[in-house]
Amino acid sequence: MMEDPLFWVFVLPGLLLGVYAQSRIKINLAKYTQVPTLNGITGAEVARKLLDAQGLKDVTVESTPGVLSDHYDPRTKTLRLSQQVYYAPNVAAAGIAAHETGHALQDAEDYFPMEARTYIVPVVQLAAQAAPWVFIAGMLLQMPTLAWVGIILFASSSLFALLTLPVEFNASARAKELLVQHGIIQGEEQLDGVEKVLGAAAWTYVAAAVSALGVWLFYVFIMFFRGRSASSIR
């Protein structure tokens, strides 16, 4: 399918947004890793302070290898920060640590979009593997119903990407509010830095959603137009 020029018509917007997002992340991280936090508080200390202030002392904060590998694991109640965030006393690290803390708060409050996304992860993983084969089998065997099953399976990835948007935007909003509320971020430069770092990261999720929708629309287009053309020829 990737050899089909039409595939890139649907997918290219998401890819371009992804490239833009990555460039903004690099630029803003390079800039705001140079802006220190007050009293030299590190990313790990930011996360621990905010978690404790919200009564989430059962959530563990750990260092994890990798670049931008920061994440919160709701299964083990563990907040994992990359070493560049865990040990770093700068505004970018504080923003990322607070963002992941926002996910821990969502988990504690049973925030619906996060709960829904967590529950469908196994389904999405299975569907993503099966969808192309089911769709191709349906087309080759001239079984439209089977092909539509493949398209529905593709839709699960789009649903996951769309559910990710409110989860990530909400976590960033919580992060900024908590950082200001607890006096970790002060002044216009520091607040602007947090907003730019988290805003750039948010574009990666938008790009993923656009790409997922593009792939899904590509297969729908094939089914509606090319599949229909093949049927009319017969």
Scanning the structure block, which residue is given the tokens 């992340």? 25
* Count, residues in the chain: 234
Interior CA angle at 204 toward 19 and 127, to 5°? Answer: 110
Please, are residues 51 and 101 in contact by the beta-carbon 8 Å criterion?
A: yes
User: Is 100 a residue of the active site?
Assistant: yes
Pick the catalytic residue: 3, 100, 115, 188?
100
Dist. CA 81–CA 99, nearest whole Å? 11
Dist. CA 57–CA 66, nearest whole Å? 25
Give residues with Cβ within 8 angstroms of 187, minimum separation 6.
Answer: none
E-strand stretches of the chain: 60-64, 71-73, 78-82
Angle in degrees, 0-180, between the axes of helices 43-53 and 144-181, rounded to the nearest 10: 90
Q: Which are the catalytic amino acids?
A: 100
